[in-house]
Structure 1
C-alpha cells in the first residue's frame, strides 16, 4: 500500500483518485474547493489543508489540474508541493500542460532531490471511471517503474516515452488529432443531414465504417441527440490547441488543419458554447448551414 497524495478533483481527478483508493492505497487529497472532495473522502480518502501538507505526508504526489498556471500555483507556490518535499519522493503530473511549464516544475522538484514524472492521460471521464485510461509517461525511468503500479490502477494502456518532455508533446499531438477528427465528423454529418438523411443513422454508419474509432463511438450519442454535456469542453480543447501551436513553433512544424479547426472551436466559444463538449462543433456547423434540429 502506497502513501499517495492527490491534488485536483475535477471531472477526471475524482474517478482517478477513487480508483487508487479501490486498489488499496492510502490516499490524501486536496482541492481548491473542498466540496468537490466529498465523494472521494466518502470513499476513504483523507483531507489535507494544502498541497504542501500533502507533499510532507505522502511518498507519491499526483496533480491533475486544468492548466499550466494552475500546476505552477499548486507546485511552486508558498504552500505548494515543492515547499513540502523531502528527498526521494516522486511528483507525478497528469495534466495537459506545455513542455516549458512542465520543465520549470521538473527543475524545482529535482532541486529537492526528488523526481518528476509527466503522466498525461488519453481518454474521457467514462474511461477514468472504468480505470481504462491510456497513460503517457516520461521522466526518470527508475521513478517511472516505481509509479507504474499506481498508473495500472487508473489506466489500461501504459506508454513510457522518454526521459524528458516527450509525454507532453505526445499528448498535445493526440489532442490535435482528436479535435480535427471531430470537425471532420461534423462536416460529414451536416452534409448527410442537409441531404435528408437521419442524423442518428448517419452517426451509426460512420461508427460502423472504416473511419469508425473509439472517439467516434463516444460521440454518436451526443451528436445524435444534439445534447453536448461536457466530457471535454470546447475551452479545454482550445487551450490544448494553443499549447500545440507553441510546441509546433518550437519544433518548426506546420499545422494548417489544426489551425482551421481552432477557428471552428473559437466560433463555438463565441456563440456561448465554450463549456459544451467539443463535439458541439456539429451544432455550430448546422447553424452556419441553416440546419435546425
Structure 2
C-alpha cells in the first residue's frame, strides 16, 4: 500500500517505521520535522494524501483540526483514500470528523490504539476500529502491521473513540486504586513489593496492574504516557459523560487527582506519577 503518515511522536515514529519495514511505501509529514528509517519525509501535509491511506497520530482534537480540517486537506485527497485517525480524540470530534469526511468524499476510520511506545515498536498495539466495514477492510493490511490484534467496535466510528476513552479512564482508576491500597498497607508495616506480589498473583493480574505496579514499586515515572496527556483523556471522558447526562463519581475523583498531579509539576512524567502524588499527600 501507499500510506501517508502525519504525526511522528514516540508512538507515530514506531508505527511509521513498522509500516515501512513491512514493505509499504510510507510518506510522512511532521510539524516539527524529523526522520524515520525507511520513511520518505515530505514538505507539506497535502503530499501524504495521494496514496491509498493516511494515518494521523496527532496529540488531540485541536491538532487534527489545525492540520486536517482548517487547511482543507480532505479536499486535496486522492479519490478512494481512507483516513485513519489513531489518536485519542473526543467522541464529539469523532462525530464531526465523520461528517467532514463524508462531505469531502473521503473514507474515514477511527482506530485509536492501546499500548505504550515500546508496544508500538514491537507492532503489538491493540487497535480499536470503528467505521464503515469497507473502509476498515481497505486499511486492514496497515492496521495488521501496527497491531497485535484488531478489535472491531462496530460500524459507527465514534464508538471506537468512546471505548478508548473508557479504557484510559479505567487505567487511571487502577493506578489510583493501587496507590491508595499502598497507603493502607505500608501504614501497617507491609512493604509495597510484598503487597503487589499478592495482588498480581491473586485478584489483579491484568496488564495495567502489572505495568503500573512496577512503576510505583520502583518509583520510576519516566514517561511512557505523560500525565498531561492523561489529564486530557480524562477531560474527554468527563465530556462524554456530560453528553450522556450521567454522573461518574470515580471519574471525577481520578480527574481531580490527575489535575493535582499536573499542577504539582509532574505533567511531563508518566501518568502513573499520580500514584506518587497520592502516596505523598498529607505527609
Indicate the TM-score class for this superposition, using the shorter chain for normalisation. Answer: over 0.9
User: Residue 148 of structure 1: which of 140, 144, 149 is its match?
Assistant: 140
After TM superposition, the structure 1 = structure 2 runs for residues 1-293 of structure 1, keeping only pairs within 5 Å, are 2-35=1-34, 38=35, 40=36, 43-55=37-49, 57-78=50-71, 81-164=73-156, 165-290=158-283
* Residues 75 and 105 in structure 1, CA contact (< 8 A), matched pair in contact too: no
| TM-score, normalization by structure 1 | 0.92
Residue by residue, what CA displacement relative to the aligned partner does 1:42-83 show, whole Å, maximum 9, x if unpaired? x2110111211211x3220000111000011111132x5314
Whole-Å separation in 1 of the counterparts to 2:63 and 2:198: 41
* Residues 178 and 213 in structure 2, CA contact (< 8 A), matched pair in contact too: no
* Residues 133 and 155 in structure 1, CA contact (< 8 A), matched pair in contact too: yes
* Residues 173 and 244 in structure 1, CA contact (< 8 A), matched pair in contact too: yes
Q: Which runs of 5+ in 2 are unaligned?
A: none
Whole-Å separation in 2 of the counterparts to 1:230 and 1:209: 28
Partner SS, residue 111 of structure 1 = helix
Cα RMSD over matched residues? 1.5
* Segments of 4+ moved more than 6 angstroms: none
Whole-Å separation in 2 of the counterparts to 1:70 and 1:143: 23
Number of residue pairs aligned between Structure 1 and Structure 2: 282
